Amino acid sequence: QVRLMESGGGSVQSGGSLRLSCEASNYADENYYYFGWFRQAPGKAREGVAVNYHYGRQTYYNPSVKGRFTASEDTTRRTIYLQMNDLKPDDTAIYYCAQNRWIPSMEPLDSHRYNYWGQGTQVTVSS
């Protein structure tokens, strides 16, 4: 069982920045896992934002946030971060972190394949 806890949400004006953190109790797999960020806006489906693949040292981004958001991981703290710059009102959502062991052909930004989720943290961007 993996427990995840997010922190760092809040309210900012358009163009502002926020940094989210997510600490894990442990890893779904020692080496082969995805650990990343998803979000869900009111009335919309949950979507992938940025996901790290630990073994491949790759990060996958939703095109809508590429160049503005940066995902990173500190394995010594079992924590991932999401630095969000140049925030826009369309970024308003509940942000969740999620983790799953790597599965062949798994699409890293597909939320349906993840078994472990945090409780979510609200991000609100005003114009």
Rg (CA), the chain: 14
126 CB-near residues (< 8 Å, 6+ apart): 11, 12, 13, 14, 89
CB count, 10 Å around CB of 89? 11
Q: Which position has the token pair 């472990």?
A: 116
Whole-angstrom CA distances from 51 to 14, 22, 81 are 24, 12, 10
| Spatial separation of the C-alpha atoms in residues 112 and 61, rounded to whole Å | 17
* Model pLDDT for residues 41-72, shown as the tens digit of each residue: 999 999 999 999 988 789 999 999 999 999 99
- Write out pLDDT tens, residues 96-124: 999 999 988 899 999 999 999 999 999 99
> How would you classify the pairing of strands 33-40 and 47-53?
antiparallel
In whole angstroms, give the CA distance from residue 2 to residue 22.
12
- Is the confidence at residue 28, as pLDDT, over 90? no
